[in-house]
C-alpha cells in the first residue's frame, strides 16, 4: 500500500545533464520523468551523519533528492571510519556535517544541502523537521529516537527509522497518518544502562550499510508513492546469519502521542523521560551512591603503593585489546563469582567507559561491599589522561 506525500503542485524540470545522470531511473516506469521530478522536489532530513546516516545520505544524494538536510554536531573520530563511509581518514577531527556535505556535493552537485550543526532538542526539533517531507532517523540513543518520533507525529512527517547494534538491525516507517509510531512499538524506554551503546557493545561495520540503504529505499518509495513501504511492519535484520524477519505492527489507539486521545501534545524533556541523569561533577565524586574516582587520582594512589584491588568487568575479548592489570570478572559473571572478591579491601571497578563498572559497583554495594569506587571514564579515560600507550577502542 503506497502512501503519497504532499509535494509541490508544479514539479521542477530536469536539465539534459540531470536526464543523463538519472537515465537508469527514467527507464523504470515506476519512476520515469514524473517520479524523478518528485525526487528533485523532495526534501529529506537525515538526523545524524554517522553509521546509518552515511549510506542513507549518499544514496539519497545519488538518487537526486533535491534538498538534503543534515543534523549533526559531532566530529569525525578514527573509530568512526570502520562503518561511517561518508568520512575518510583525512576528515578525522573535522565536523561530520562538513565532511558529509563535501562528499555529497562531490557525488551530486545538483542537490541542495541544508546543514544544522546542532544537537536536535525539544527547543529546535519542530522548527527543523517541519521544513522537510520525510525524516530519516539515524540516531543512536533513545532520547533522540523518542524526540524524532514525537516531532514527526506532531508535524505529520513520516519517519524512515533504522537502528543497529552488534550484528542486528531494525527498520520501519513510523508516524504516517494511518500507521503506528515508535511509541506504539516501544511505549517506554529501557532502564538507563540496560542496552549498551555501539561504543560499549560494538557493531559490525557493514550492518549500518544494510540498514541505512533500507531507510533510503523507504524514503524514496514514500516520495514516489510506489510500492509497499514498511508502514505497520518492523523489518529485523540478522547480519550474522543473514536472516530477514518481519513483525506486523499495529497503531495503538491508546498511544500517548498518536492515539485517539493523545496526552503528549508538545515535545517534552527526553533526557528525563529516558531516565538520563546528567553526569555528576567530579568534585561531588558520587553517582547513585557510588563514589567516583578519576583515573589521575587512582594513578596517584597506585604510585603511592596503596592496597587497592582493581576489578575489570569487561569481556575477555576486550581484555585482549587493552588492559591495565585488573582482575577480570565480566559483568554478567559477577553474581556467580562474587566470592573471588575480598570485601575488606578497597575495590576500584572499571570497564571501557564507566557504565558497566557503575552497574557492577551498585551490585557489589547491594551485596554488602562497602569499600567500592567506580573508575570514572574507564580505560578510555586512562588512555587519554594517564597512559597513551594503552590503545583506545
H helix count then E strand count, the chain: 16, 14
Which of these is catalytic: 46, 184, 198, 258?
198
Which of these is catalytic: 46, 152, 184, 351?
351
Helix (H) or strand (E) run with residue 22 in it: none
Nearest to 204, CA basis, from 172, 239, 243:
239
Cell triple for residue 381?
579515560
Residue 46 is among the residues annotated as catalytic for this protein: no
Residue at grid coordinates 538526523? 47
- Sequence-separated (6 or more) residues with CB below 8 Å from residue 41: 7, 8, 11, 12, 66
| Measured CA distances, 111 to 64, 118, 134 (Å) | 7, 22, 16
Categorise residue 193: left if φ over 0, alpha if ψ from -120 to 50, beta otherwise: left
Nearest to 252, CA basis, from 181, 184, 173, 189:
184
As annotated, the active-site residues are 198, 351
Amino acid at each position: 500500500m503506497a502512501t503519497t506525500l504532499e509535494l509541490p503542485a508544479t514539479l521542477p524540470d530536469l536539465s539534459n545533464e540531470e536526464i543523463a545522470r538519472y537515465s537508469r531511473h527514467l527507464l523504470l516506469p515506476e519512476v520515469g520523468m514524473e517520479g524523478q521530478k518528485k525526487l528533485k522536489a523532495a526534501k529529506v532530513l537525515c538526523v545524524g551523519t554517522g553509521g546509518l546516516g552515511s549510506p542513507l545520505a549518499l544514496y539519497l544524494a545519488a538518487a537526486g533528492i533535491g534538498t538534503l538536510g543534515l543534523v549533526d554536531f559531532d566530529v569525525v573520530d578514527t573509530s568512526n571510519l570502520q562503518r561511517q563511509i561518508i568520512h575518510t581518514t583525512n576528515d578525522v577531527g573535522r565536523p561530520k556535517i562538513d565532511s558529509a556535505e563535501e562528499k555529497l556535493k562531490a557525488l551530486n552537485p545538483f542537490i541542495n544541502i541544508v546543514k544544522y550543526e546542532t544537537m536536535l532538542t525539544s527547543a529546535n526539533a519542530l522548527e527543523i523537521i517541519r521544513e522537510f517531507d520525510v525524516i530519516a532517523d539515524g540516531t543512536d540513543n533513545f532520547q533522540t529516537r523518542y524526540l524524532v518520533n514525537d516531532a514527526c507525529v506532531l508535524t505529520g512527517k513520516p519517519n524512515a527509522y533504522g537502528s543497529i547494534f552488534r550484528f542486528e538491525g531494525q527498520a520501519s516507517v513510523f508516524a504516517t497518518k494511518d500507521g503506528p509510531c515508535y511509541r506504539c512499538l516501544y511505549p517506554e524506554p529501557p532502564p538507563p544502562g540496560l542496552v549498551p551503546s555501539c561504543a560499549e557493545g560494538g557493531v559490525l561495520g557493514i550492518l549500518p550499510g544494510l540498514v541505512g540503504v533500507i531507510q533510503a529505499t523507504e524514503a524514496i518509495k514514500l516520495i514516489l508513492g510506489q510500492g509497499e513501504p514498511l508502514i505497520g511492519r518492523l523489518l529485523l535484520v540478522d547480519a550474522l546469519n543473514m536472516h530477514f524477519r518481519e513483525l506486523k505492527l499495529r497503531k495503538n489507539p491508546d498511544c500517548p502521542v498518536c492515539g485517539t486521545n493523545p496526552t503528549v501534545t508538545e515535545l517534552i524533556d527526553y533526557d528525563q523521560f529516558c531516565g538520563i541523569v546528567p553526569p555528576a561533577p567530579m568534585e561531588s565524586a558520587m553517582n547513585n551512591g557510588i563514589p567516583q574516582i578519576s583515573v589521575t587520582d587512582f594513578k596517584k594512589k597506585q604510585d603511592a603503593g596503596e592496597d587497592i584491588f582493581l576489578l575489570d568487568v569487561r569481556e575477555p575479548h576486550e581484555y585482549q585489546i587493552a588492559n591495565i592489570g585488573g582482575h577480570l570478572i565480566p559483568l554478567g559473571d559477577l553474581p556467580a563469582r562474587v566470592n573471588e572478591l575480598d570485601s575488606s579491601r578497597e575495590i576500584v571497578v572499571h570497564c571501557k567507559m564507566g557504565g558497566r563498572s557503575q552497574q557492577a559497583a551498585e551490585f557489589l554495594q547491594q551485596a554488602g561491599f562497602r569499600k567500592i569506587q567506580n573508575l570514572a571514564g574507564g580505560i578510555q579515560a586512562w588512555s587519554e589522561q594517564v597512559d597513551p600507550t594503552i590503545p583506545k577502542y
